[in-house]
């Protein structure tokens, strides 16, 4: 179903109050939002309304039992002024895998794309144009049924919010290999973009921050031997001139940026390895001077340069410049495709206006 979506426009745009030259990640929310309820076994008519509070009962199931999943994608202003959403089809597929894992209702990809397009069109003035900025798009579905008993909800709300953003990190980061706490175990919900994965990460991340790190580098739940991912992104290393990233497991998020960068790297003739990478291998690579780059890959983070990795109480620094040539080539190519400077041979740009 591809519905036509009614739009109620705000009488008071907040565009003029928004400082597009200083876009912190997540600070601003655009004028409109999309709302769509799921009840009686079906998604209802979506609508676009002015962004603002929505009332709920504190007895809604999402608050108690955690049925809440989200996505994060970006719309860009191309060099010729058109607007593109980057790889929304891959996000739609992952959204559905997350929904399924959390026993929540699936959403037809076409329906999802129609909703996205309609909302971004309604707030197209909010898509920033300058280098390093984008319109972040946050779809979320959560359980709204009022009930205290432990059960799968029969009612949900699908909401899409958007907001102009700048870089997620504005300098190279320090990450700490986590050897006490666990983000996700195989068979759990690590591959799903569900709210609980992030809530559970806050406490270890706060502890790492107190020790001077920006993010945690999660390791496997069985023995903390292998690298999984970082807090808000997948992670990649350049060791011996090979681009190495942990192979996907049910404990790792199947990142759209991860997939994009691996595709671009292969196309550039860079040797790519998707495999287990142990903490010991990482430490050895530092000691032997074989590791030249490390970076995160995520929609929000894009390509996030890692300057240092803390392993067992020792900080290992990457050589300068921290933003080495592999990540710089990948970052540039990704940027050029999104802005329309380089050919989009994989059809990643979903041009909407
Ligand atoms: C994203 O990269 O879109 C994320 O969802 C990461 C974070 C902001 C939670």
pLDDT tens digits in sequence order for the chain, 353 residues long: 456 999 999 999 999 999 999 998 999 999 999 999 999 999 999 999 999 999 999 999 999 999 999 999 999 999 999 999 999 999 999 999 999 999 999 999 999 999 999 999 999 999 999 888 999 999 999 999 999 999 999 999 999 999 999 999 999 999 999 999 999 999 999 999 999 999 999 999 999 999 999 999 999 999 999 999 998 999 999 999 999 999 999 999 999 999 999 999 999 999 999 999 999 999 999 999 999 999 999 999 999 999 999 999 999 999 999 999 999 999 999 999 999 999 999 999 999 97
Of 160, 195, 232, the residue with max ligand 1 atoms within 8 A of its CB, to mutate for a pocket test, comes to 232
* Protein residue closest via CA to atom 5 of ligand 1: 72
Q: Report which protein residue has its CA nearest ligand 1's atom 9.
A: 232
Architecture of domain 15-165 in CATH? 2-Layer Sandwich (3.30)
Domain positions in the chain are 15-165, 173-339
> Among candidates 280, 287, 296, 290, which has minimal Cα distance to 316?
287
Return the SS3 of 278.
Answer: strand
Q: How far is the CA of 313 from the centre of ligand 1 (A)?
A: 28
Mutate to test the pocket of ligand 1, among 74, 299, 302 (most ligand atoms within 8 A of CB): 299
Q: Is the CB of 66 under 6 A from ligand 1?
A: no
CB–CB of 217/177 below 8 Å? Answer: yes
Q: What is residue 335's three-state secondary structure?
A: helix
User: 292 φ, ψ to 5°?
Assistant: -110, -20
What helix, strand, coil percent values describe the chain, rounded to 5? 25, 30, 45
For residue 2, the model assigns a pLDDT of 54
Burial 163-186 (b: 16+ CB within 10 A, else e): bbbbbbbeebbbbbbbeebbbbee
Residue 298, ligand 1, Cβ within 6 A = yes
How far apart, in whole angstroms, are the C-alpha atoms of residue 301 and residue 305?
A: 9
pLDDT at 66 (0 to 100): 98
Ligand 1 pocket check for 297: Cβ under 6 Å: no
Q: Ligand 1 centre from 298 Cα, in Å?
A: 7
Query: Which letter does DSSP use for residue 76 in this model?
Result: E
299 lines ligand 1 (CB under 6 A): yes
Helices (H) and strands (E) in the chain, counts: 8, 18
Give the CA-trace dihedral at 101, 175, 139, 248, to 10 degrees: -40
Torsions phi, psi for 295 (to 5 deg) = -155, 155
Rounded Cα distance, 306 and 157, in Å: 37
SS3 91: helix
Residue 28: Cβ-neighbour burial (10 angstroms; 0-12, 13-18, 19+)? buried
Q: Report which ligand 1 atom has the smallest distance to the Cα of 136.
A: 3
Fold adopted by 173-339: D-amino Acid Aminotransferase; Chain A, domain 2 (3.20.10)
Residue 72 Cβ inside 6 Å of ligand 1? The answer reads yes
């Amino acid at each position: 179903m591809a519905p036509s979506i009614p739009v109620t426009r705000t009488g008071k745009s907040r565009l003029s109050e928004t400082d597009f030259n200083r876009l912190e990640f997540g600070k601003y929310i655009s004028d409109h939002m999309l709302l769509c309820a799921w009840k009686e076994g079906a998604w209802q008519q979506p609508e676009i309304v002015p962004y603002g509070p929505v009332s709920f009962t504190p007895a809604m199931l999402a608050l108690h039992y955690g049925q809440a999943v989200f996505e994060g994608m970006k719309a860009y202003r191309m060099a010729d002024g058109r607007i593109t959403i980057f790889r929304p089809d891959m996000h739609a597929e992952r959204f559905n895998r997350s929904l399924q894992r959390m026993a929540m209702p699936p959403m037809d990809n076409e329906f999802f794309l129609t909703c996205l397009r309609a909302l971004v069109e309604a707030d197209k003035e909010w898509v920033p144009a300058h280098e390093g900025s984008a319109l972040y798009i946050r779809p979320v579905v959560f359980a709204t049924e009022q009930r205290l008993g432990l059960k799968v909800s029969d009612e949900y709300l699908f909401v899409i919010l958007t907001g102009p953003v700048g870089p997620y990190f504005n300098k190279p980061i320090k990450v700490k290999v986590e050897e006490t706490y666990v983000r996700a175990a195989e068979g759990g919900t690590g591959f799903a973009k569900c709210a609980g994965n992030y809530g559970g990460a806050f406490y270890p991340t706060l502890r790492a921050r107190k020790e001077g790190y920006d993010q945690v580098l999660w390791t496997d739940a069985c023995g903390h031997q292998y690298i999984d991912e970082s807090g808000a992104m997948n992670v990649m290393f350049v060791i011996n001139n090979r681009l190495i990233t942990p192979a996907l497991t049910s404990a790792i998020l199947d990142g759209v940026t991860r997939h994009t960068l691996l595709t671009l790297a292969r196309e550039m003739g860079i040797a790519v390895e998707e495999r287990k990478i142990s903490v010991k291998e990482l430490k050895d690579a530092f000691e032997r001077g074989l590791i030249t780059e490390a970076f995160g890959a995520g929609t929000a983070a894009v390509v996030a340069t890692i300057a240092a990795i803390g392993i067992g109480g020792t900080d290992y620094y990457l050589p300068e410049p921290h933003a080495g040539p592999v990540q710089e080539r990948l970052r540039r190519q990704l940027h050029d495709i999104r802005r329309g400077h380089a050919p989009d041979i994989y059809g990643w740009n979903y041009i909407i206006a």
